[in-house]
Amino acid sequence: MAEGFELNSFLDELKSASRGASPTAEVRQILDRVFADPSAVASGMPAYEQDDKILFEDDAVSIWFCRFRPGDPVPPHDHQISVSIGVYEGVEKNSMYRADANGGIEVSSVHELGPGDVFSIGPTGIHSVICGSEAPSLAIHVYLGNLSEVERNLFDPRTGERMRFSDEDVERLKPYQQEIEARA
């Protein structure tokens, strides 16, 4: 249980795990244990104004607070590094994609993560994210590498066209992802 969740201790534990012999497994074990009590995580987390906040980042690990608001999707993208996600409030809906026969992308699975759920995505995984609840979803995302420095990809949700990830293109593609989510 995450009784008495304390953010700095949690961050230290994740930093240490990211440098361990099996960082993916070690980070996942920590998240599984800590997010078993999502209310403790919620009560121990600060109230951030921004939707994305880097809590810690170096070459081995990037630990982000992520808020997803209803109706505001992130189009399909990859990270080029592994990520594990722990949700402590709301519902974070992750749609996973694979290449289709026409050179585009198609949804291969959908994972709705509620409070206490933990989900991992490998470095080549492609996913889109949207809030699946009326209230924003709140989560910690732990990337095994420096996410701010990784050259990652964004995909046009209509055509599957691959492009370099940029905030400008995320904003440009959001309306198309909103249409797709509304039809789903």
Residue 24 lies in a domain: yes
Residue 1 lies in a domain: no
Instruction: Report the pLDDT value the prediction gives residue 6, as an integer from 0 to 100.
Output: 97
Residue 2 lies in a domain: no
Which residue, among 109, 108, 110, 99, has the nearest Cα to 161 in the 3D structure? 99
Residue 147 lies in a domain: yes
Instruction: Report the pLDDT value the prediction gives residue 182, as an integer from 0 to 100.
Output: 86
Beta strands 137-143 and 62-68: pairing type?
antiparallel
Residue 168 lies in a domain: yes
Residue 83 lies in a domain: yes
Structurally, how many domains does the chain consist of? 1
d(C-alpha 122, C-alpha 130), whole Å: 19
Instruction: Report the pLDDT value the prediction gives residue 175, as an integer from 0 to 100.
Output: 94
pLDDT digits (tens, 9 = 90+) for 87-100: 999 999 999 999 88
Instruction: Report the pLDDT value the prediction gives residue 162, as an integer from 0 to 100.
Output: 94
Beta carbons within 8 Å of 82's beta carbon, 6+ residues apart: 24, 120, 121, 122, 123, 143, 144, 145
pLDDT digits (tens, 9 = 90+) for 71-84: 999 999 999 999 99
Residue 67 lies in a domain: yes
Residue 86 lies in a domain: yes
- Domain residues for the domain of 141 are 7-183
d(C-alpha 54, C-alpha 141), whole Å: 10
d(C-alpha 127, C-alpha 68), whole Å: 14
Instruction: Report the pLDDT value the prediction gives residue 3, as an integer from 0 to 100.
Output: 58
Q: What is the CATH number of the domain that holds 54?
A: 2.60.120.10
Residues in the chain with pLDDT values less than 50: 1-2
Q: DSSP state, 146? A: -
